[in-house]
Copies of this chain bind each other. A is one copy, B any other.
Amino acid sequence: MRRPTLEAVAARAGVSRATASRVVNEQTTVAPHIRDAVLRAIDELGYVPNSAARSLVTQRTDSIALVVSEPGTRVFSEDPMFSTAIRSASMELEAVNKQVVLMMASSAKSHARVERYISGGHVDGVMLISMHGADPLPSALSRLRVPVVSYGRPAVPVEIPYVDNDNIGGAEAGVRHLVETGRRRIATIAGPQDMIGGQDRLTGYRNVLRDSDHRSIVAVGDFTRESGAVAMRQLLRDDPELDAVFVANDLMAVGALQSLRQAGRRVPDDVAVVGFDDIEAAKYTEPPLTTLRHPVAEQAAAMVRLLLNLFEGGTSEPVILPTELVIRESA
């Protein structure tokens, strides 16, 4: 049995298909009593518009692709912030009756798939969450004639509006806190330098050290807990006298905390630790982690608004959201 069509609704209401369509699309040029008759017919038949037919003629799809691009080697989508972002974006879009088509782009093959799909006009716009610098997707998508916005500043210079948090400012605030609490030898565990977050947070660290006449001590991790532990051991070997470390994300900070404990350093007495992200686990480390909070859900919601704005021919200025220093016990 077929689902009822607009034709059926019109027949039942005793009007033409055109009039029924007007009611469905909330046009005002319909007399109230006719309108009511149509609405009743819709209700009785349980009519739902066929979106395929509709988008065939309107050339709109009312759906948005949410593309998550991550390098094959690392799985950032397991990051707890990832699901927060997806959830927030999804709910924001549902509020304006847009569908969310989720696409994972991890391999070259899936990249091609995504490109083909997007260029096929199946979606009205794209929200891109790209995780690494060498990603060809931002520039590829920006060439397509589809509105694209990015969660986070794209690593390659490309004309895509984006929403990001203030990585540099946040890192500066974190390191400044260490300086102001009298730390002398402030090291950092930086993130991967092919990621914007990795780069900018290191820049923020360097900015403050330069201005306050401290020496920089840098180790690089890849944003995983394990790499944080390794980097911390490295730093302790390089400079056993260090009394503070700014870690580019909380996950690595958790690892660093472990290495410090194993090395017999007390936190924060011997070594102060500042993380970044304020993930859930930051509250439960021993000691609880001082870190920089950035509004993940808000960032995702802002990205949605930016895209919707683009549809209406609005501005495409990047949006930068502030970060907040959350002082707990580790620094």
A residues contacting B by CB (< 8 A) are 3, 46, 48-53, 55-56, 61, 63, 66, 75, 77-80, 82-84, 86-87, 90-91, 94, 99-104, 106, 110, 113, 116-117, 119-122, 225, 254, 258, 280-281, 284, 286
Contacts and interface: CB of A to CB of B under 8 A. Distances in A.
A51 B106 contact: no
B104 A87 contact: yes
Nearest to A251: B280
Contact of A78 (B52, B77, B84, B103): B84
B48 A56 contact: no
Nearest to A60: B52
B104 A102 contact: no
Contacts of A82: 83
Contacts of A83: 77-80, 82-83, 86
Contact of A102 (B52, B100, B121, B225): B100
Given A61-B52, A121-B50, A104 B91 contact: yes
Given A87-B104, A90-B103, 12 more contacts: A3-B120, A48-B116, A49-B120, A51-B120, A52-B56, A56-B56, A78-B280, A83-B86, A91-B104, A254-B284, A281-B281, A286-B286
B103 A101 contact: no
A101 B63 CA distance: 9
Contacts of A120: 3, 48-51
Given A50-B120, A122-B51, A87 B80 contact: no
B102 A103 contact: no
Contacts of A87: 75, 77-78, 104
Q: How many copies does the complex hold?
A: 2
13 contacts: A48-B116, A51-B122, A53-B56, A63-B101, A66-B102, A78-B280, A83-B83, A90-B104, A91-B104, A94-B104, A100-B101, A100-B102, A286-B286
B225 A284 contact: yes
Given A52-B52, A56-B53, A102-B102, A94 B122 contact: no
B66 A56 contact: no
Nearest to A121: B3
Nearest to A70: B87
Identify the 9 closest CB pairs spanning chains A and B, nearest first.
Answer: A48-B120, A83-B83, A52-B56, A52-B55, A100-B102, A102-B102, A52-B52, A77-B87, A90-B104
A46 B119 CA distance: 9
B48 A119 contact: yes
Contacts of A284: 225, 254, 258
A116 B42 CA distance: 13
